[in-house]
Amino acid sequence: MGKQEGAVNPLAHLNAHWLGCDPGKTNLATVAHEERYPSGAVESVWQRSLTAGQYYRQSGITQHAKVSKAWMAGIQPEHDMLSQVTTYTASLQRYWEYAAVTLVTWPAMWAELSKPRWSNARFRLYRYKQSTVAKFWAETVRGAMVRCNSAATGRPLALAYGAADFSGSGSIGSR
């Protein structure tokens, strides 16, 4: 709709400052706002992104992976035994082998994975993920309100979420 000649925004009557949000793989969220001249030409573009790398570092996913790898070192022999068998088989004999190995390794695996540090780490990771995303949106809204001067103009901020057609490199403009 946006690239065709004469495309019209059906929500233009809201008289809002529009923020375009494009979800992606490299940039989990890219938010942009354009200032336009009355002629329709772009005056300036403001952009903010939450990259996958930022999300992984700030939410603690990377650190959790390192710590859990160290914790799992104590049950490496059990992991090695389990890696020799698989549930993905059409053979009943191979499935029975898997079941036997699982029963042998279960006590050691359960003893490690039922320690409080695992549940605490998973909950901490959940909280950090939530706070990372919340912090990104709070900073984005705060920055957009300052840029758009929403308090003085009385125009609200509105978010257009979806395929905003930003380039994959994270830059905005013509492709």
Model confidence pLDDT, tens digit, residues 58-75: 999 999 999 999 999 999
pLDDT in tens, 68-111: 999 999 999 999 999 999 888 889 999 999 999 999 999 999 99
Task: Decide if 47 is inside a domain.
Answer: no
Residue 67: what pLDDT?
95
What is the number of domains present in the chain?
1
Residue 61: what pLDDT?
95
Residue 10: what pLDDT?
63
Q: Which residue, 58, 59, 44, 51, is CA-closest to 23?
A: 51
Mean pLDDT to the nearest integer, 132-154 = 85
Mean pLDDT to the nearest integer, 148-161 = 77
Task: Decide if 130 is inside a domain.
Answer: no
Task: Decide if 65 is inside a domain.
Answer: yes
Task: Decide if 75 is inside a domain.
Answer: yes
With 70 as the cut, is the pLDDT of residue 175 above it?
no
Cβ partners under 8 Å of residue 78, min gap 6? 105, 108, 109
Task: Decide if 85 is inside a domain.
Answer: yes
Range of 96's domain? 58-123
